[in-house]
A and B are shown apart, each in its own frame.
Chain A
Amino acid sequence: MQTVTQAQLFKLFALHLFSTMIAFMLGIMMQQSGYNGPLGILSGALIGLGMAFFAYRLGMRRPDRFFVEYGKEIVGRWLHTPLVLFIAVANLLIGMINFWELQDFLIQFYLVSTPPWAIAGLCGICIAYTVRFGVNSVFRAAEGIFLFSLLSFLLIPILVSESFNWYIGVGLATHFSPREAWPSAYYTSSVFGEMSFVLFIYPYLMQPHRTFRSMSGSMIVAAALVLLHIVPLLLIFGPELASNLNYPELELLRFMRSGSFLETLDPALIALWLISIFVKLGFIVFIISLILAHLLKLKDTKPFVSPVTAFIAVGSLVIVKSNIQFQNLMTGGLLTLFFASELIPILYYVVDSLQAAWRKKRKGRFN
């Protein structure tokens, strides 16, 4: 059962965190926090890690058992099932949102007249194929591409460094407003808080006691990479222009001229990103399939992989119709829903701790 190494966990979470954040979320963060975006990202990453810490502590109490199976012993079956289903629904929505962003991004820039269903279908096939082989497939896929993905993300700030407007740096250094940073921090923490879903895969982990160290490493790498992209965005476009772009990172890429060999490398780099995003979506599909399989007392996740992926793919075609609707959705209650799903492990941890304390007290009284 214990087949996922801590190195694989670290790499998957790092990819999971920085791939979609850099590709799709920087525009909204600029809009919400402007110069305080970097501060928001740092605070959000710490809050997200804090949320994941409770999941880690809870998982360490029963590292050999699946959360979906033992959770009912903590809060009772009637509360546990809806709560776990709520997490599954939140993951479905995260998957749909990421899927929609991916399609919108590709249709806007690269596959202008391609029907969205064709893109969704092909993405769905790739993701379902990744997940149908089980947990090892997802984690090993992440392990293999991590270095390439990391290097590609590191390359961009270096290649655009010539275009930096250093005078904007003054604004970065002087604008510190926790109030302005908070929306970004809230947004970022909801993404980094997704690490708390590690709770579902504890029996697969080798050396589970090192899980928090791996998650901390992922958080540091992902936060550093996101900062390495948001700061160049601010230094090149400034907060106003960057906040008005749907995908500012793509514009940053197009700013990059790689000499006489190729005019712009953006399609090639985006191909590499796509693989990272597929791995992230693969993890989300796996978590949903795992929850459903355990709720229905099935041992294998395979029967759920294709239906879940198909549901996400079809859902992504109808969840929003335009970028404005998407912006409304993301600045509305959806983030809170994600946040709430990531806080659920804390509820279990608190209840479990109270129960343990009560049992200890009762035992002491009898003795």
Chain B
Amino acid sequence: MKGTSRETQSAPVGACPPTLELTPRLEWFKERLDRCYDAVFHTFTIGRGLPCVLIYFQGMFDYLNAEEHLLMPLLRESSERVDEPAGLFDEHRIPLARTIVIDDPDEAIKQVMMGHGVLLQENEAQMLVLPFVSYETRALEEAPNESVIRGPREAFVESLDTNLTLLRRRIKSPLLKTERLTFGVHTQTSVILAYLEGTCPDRLIREVKRRLANIRIDGVLGSSYLEEIIQDSPYSPFPQLQYTERPDTVSASVLEGRIAILVDNTPMILLAPVTFFMMLQSAEDYYQPFIAASWIRWIRFIFLSTSLLLPSFYIAITTFHPEMIPFNLLISISSSREIVPFPALMEAAMMELAFEALREASVRIPKSIGQAVSIIGALIIGTAAVQAGIVSAAMVIIVSVTGIASFIIPNFDLGLSFRLLRFPMMLLAGMFGIFGIACGIILIYVHLVNLQSFGTPYLAPVTPRAARSLKDTVYRAPWWKMRTLPFMANRTNRLREIANMRAWASSEGADDE
């Protein structure tokens, strides 16, 4: 991986002196870590006065653990066998399982930066890396953005090791491969590619690695840094990688042949490839009865269209096609719009913008006053605006329903795309009526038809059609019917379960006989 081989940028310090003496090497390390208040150089001797030094960063390295399991035993051993000249690397003297021996001083600096301790010894070129990383991490909590009623509650956290463990705990298979890469010249962010060998197509693994290989950046502070760089069409408003904070969602995706990208210091895991219909699936779908899950999926489809089209239809119908509205309804809409001085397009645009502002404000402001802002914004200003004749009551209903509809979409980014596209659709509806809406729909539709996520068509399995995968797209088939994995899984390894798992139902009567 090219990204991993890039050397750490640093102050202009020369190479480490090619000597086995400890002092000049220690000086070099001190020079490299100059003005680093938290760098610790702990010197001690073992055996017959053999000097050693342990280098680490305070607050990142578990010094107590190292002291208890490494330094104390070594010092105790030294006092018992003072005449013995042996060093740390002569035999298997380190009473620890997870140690790495390196001989590259630059690599040693990297290891120190990652929170490891590095042990140097006089007359020894090799260095011992002690991976006793210890820093404060957030405890496992419930997924705040993807909560479910019946499913597991655990969510990913910022620690990469913890996240990987959450995945391993669910997929206990040696076929679950986890490849580590590093990105960010300064941040040295660890990234893990997790996939199920044999199920995830090799083409996909190669493609993900190929795209990641081009990344040269100073720092990676979140998965979205990588997402924007590796997605197929960066100028599309639609998300082309899925993100989730749920380990069960990642596990299910990996089992279906997708690849997960875990980035250190972020609880959001990226999943590739993704299709439009995957983003309308929720983890809850697989924990609820399939009939309810299918019904809810259909509700999502309906409200997805609503979130995009309802204000546009309102504008088009009231402006261009009032004959579509039943007479009584027409009277009430017209009477409510009578005092409004703006055309429907302007009215809708104002209200939608106000709603977006309210939504953004409710996310950003402190929680203690968030509720007050929502109440003031939604109720007081809304009612006052209607009474003042600035907007019609019908428009308030339309905007509210649209707002609710946009939050029904399980994937936040997809909802955001639709909220964004609602505005050009409203403009088209205001200019050309339903004809404008049809034009807008075809432009969005053609865009989606041609959009790809890592070579997978965005609208698959509807177009291009993959009939077998429709069972988990337009509806959620019962588990005993989902015999094969979706279309993105490796062609040769798509069998998910045996046939006729409910054979007991037909044999029950026979047993009775």
Residues of A within 8 A of B (CB): 5, 7-8, 106, 110-111, 114, 118-119, 122-123, 125-126, 129-130, 133, 136-137, 140-141, 143-145, 260-268, 270-272, 274-275, 278
Shortest distance between the CB of B294 and any CB in chain A (Å): 18
- Cross-chain contact of A111 among B320, B326, B443, B464 (Cβ < 8 A): B320
Is B327 in contact with A263, judged by CB distance below 8 angstroms? yes
Residues of B near A106 (CB, < 8 A) are 435
The residue among A129, A144, A272 with the most chain B CB atoms within 10 A of its own CB is A144
Name 4 extra pairs, CB < 8 A, besides A122-B436, A140-B463, A267-B434.
A122-B435, A125-B443, A140-B450, A141-B445
Which residues of A lie under 8 Å from residue B449 when comparing CB positions?
133, 137, 140-141, 144
Contact of B434 among A123, A125, A262, A268 (CB under 8 A): A268
**Which single member of A110, A263, A267 contacts B326 (CB below 8 Å)?**
A263
**Interface status of B345 (Cβ within 8 A of chain A):** no
| Given A119-B435, A122-B432, residue A275 in contact with residue B445 (CB < 8 A) | yes
Asked if residues B463 and A260 are in contact (CB atoms below 8 Å), the reply is no
Check if B363 is an interface residue, CB within 8 A of chain A.
no
Q: Is B465 interfacial (CB 8 A cutoff)?
A: yes
Question: Nearest Cβ distance between residue A295 and chain B, in whole angstroms?
Answer: 26
Of B316, B317, B438, B464, most A-chain CB atoms within 10 Å: B438
Q: Are A270 and B463 in contact (CB-based, < 8 A)?
A: no
Q: Does B13 contact A (CB under 8 A)?
A: no
Top 8 closest pairs, chain A to chain B, by CB: A144-B463, A271-B438, A274-B438, A267-B434, A133-B450, A143-B463, A267-B321, A140-B463
* Smallest beta-carbon distance A351→chain B, Å: 37
Q: Is B90 an interface residue (CB 8 A)?
A: no
B434, A110: Cβ atoms under 8 Å? Answer: yes
User: Is B414 in contact with chain A by the CB < 8 A criterion?
Assistant: no
Among A118, A145, A263, A266, contact of B325 (Cβ-Cβ < 8 Å) = A263
Q: A129 to chain B: which residues have CB within 8 Å?
A: 442-443, 446-447
- B contact residues, total (Cβ < 8 Å): 31
| Bound-state Cα–Cα, A267 to B433, Å | 9
Cα-based distance from A183 to B432 in the complex (angstroms): 37
Chain A nearest CB from B285 CB (Å) reads 23
* Interfacial chain B residues near A130, Cβ < 8 Å: 442, 446
Q: What CA separation (Å) do A136 and B463 show in the bound complex?
A: 10
Of A111, A261, A265, A272, which is within 8 A of B433 by CB?
Answer: A111
Q: Is the beta-carbon distance between A110 and B320 smaller than 8 angstroms? A: yes
Minimum CB–CB distance from A87 to chain B (whole Å) comes to: 26
Report chain B residues within 8 Å CB of A278. Answer: 442
Q: How far is the CB of B443 from chain A (nearest CB, A)?
A: 6
User: 19 A-B contacts, Cβ less than 8 Å apart?
Assistant: A106-B435, A110-B435, A118-B432, A126-B442, A133-B446, A136-B450, A141-B463, A143-B465, A145-B445, A262-B324, A263-B323, A267-B316, A267-B433, A270-B434, A271-B437, A271-B441, A272-B438, A274-B438, A275-B438
Within 8 A of A (CB), among B90-112: none
Q: A262 touching B326 by the CB < 8 A rule?
A: yes
Asked if residues B439 and A126 are in contact (CB atoms below 8 Å), the reply is yes
Q: Is B157 an interface residue (CB 8 A)?
A: no
Confirm or deny: B457 has a beta carbon within 8 angstroms of a beta carbon on chain A: yes
* Residues in B whose Cβ lies below 8 Å from that of A143: 463-465
Q: Measured between alpha carbons, how far is A265 from B313 in the docked complex, in Å?
A: 12
Complex CA gap A118/B462 in Å reads: 33
Q: Does B351 contact A (CB under 8 A)?
A: no
Partner of A144, one of B324, B327, B434, B459: B459
**Shortest CB distance A217–B (Å):** 15
- Docked Cα-Cα span, A270 to B435, in Å, equals 8
In whole angstroms, what is the CA distance A272 to B437 when docked? 10
A252 CB to nearest B CB, Å: 16
Q: How far is the CA of A263 from the CA of B25 in the complex (A)?
A: 87
Bound together, the chains give a CA A246 to CA B405 distance in angstroms of 40
Nearest chain B residue, comparing its CB with the CB of A143 = B463
Question: How near does chain B come to A350, taking the closest CB pair, in angstroms?
Answer: 36
What is the minimal beta-carbon distance from B308 to any residue of chain A, in angstroms?
A: 13
> CA–CA, A263 to B328, complex, Å?
11
A140 CA to B462 CA, complexed, in Å: 9
Q: How far, in angstroms, from A5 to B463 measured CA to CA in the complex?
A: 11
A129 to B443, CA, bound (A): 7
Cα A129 to Cα B432 with chains together (Å):
19
A327 CB to nearest chain B CB (Å): 24
Give the residue of B435, B457, B463 whose beta carbon is less than 8 angstroms from that of A271. B435
Which of B435, B446, B463 counts the most chain A CB atoms within 10 A? B446
